[in-house]
């Protein structure tokens, strides 16, 4: 997953400047292209919205992997976009993009399709 400068500033501030580790609500975004370090290519149809991630669990320092510990469900009103990537943000809209990456497989987000990340399915891998 590509991380943003904001994420790097946050982590380095905590690790090297004794900044407090403030926990904020995080949200998952869907993208029809690589979000890069800015959150580009986020879906923009009228009914799309980011969804809360809940907590992440199963943090493994040996493998640098963490996964979502609850189901994340999006609405069923897609506009036929092909979703290729996901991102993590502070903020349900606007906000600060933290990082994003490619999905294991793309999917067509059509009307009536409900995108779901089952618990443990959204893996964040530090690299």
Number of domains in the chain: 1
- Residues 71-109 pLDDT 10s: 999 998 888 999 999 998 988 999 989 888 999 999 999
pTM of the full predicted structure? 0.81
* CA quadruple 121, 101, 51, 83: dihedral sign: negative
- Residues 51-74 pLDDT 10s: 998 777 656 566 667 788 889 999
Task: Let me know if 85 is exposed, middle or buried by CB neighbors in 10 A (0-12, 13-18, 19+).
Answer: buried
| Under 8 Å between Cβ of 43 and 51 | no
Structural domain for 64, as ranges: 2-125
């Amino acid at each position: 997953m590509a991380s943003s400068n904001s994420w790097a500033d946050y982590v380095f501030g905590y690790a090297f400047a004794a900044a407090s580790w403030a926990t904020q609500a995080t949200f998952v975004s869907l993208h029809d292209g690589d979000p890069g370090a800015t959150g580009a290519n986020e879906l923009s149809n009228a009914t799309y919205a980011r969804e809360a991630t809940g907590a992440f669990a199963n943090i493994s320092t040996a493998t640098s992997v963490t996964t979502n510990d609850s189901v994340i469900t999006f609405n069923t009103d897609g506009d036929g976009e092909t979703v290729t990537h996901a991102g993590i943000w502070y903020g349900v809209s606007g906000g600060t993009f933290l990082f994003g990456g490619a999905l294991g497989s793309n999917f067509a987000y059509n009307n009536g399709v409900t995108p779901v990340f089952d618990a443990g399915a959204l893996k964040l891998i530090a690299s």
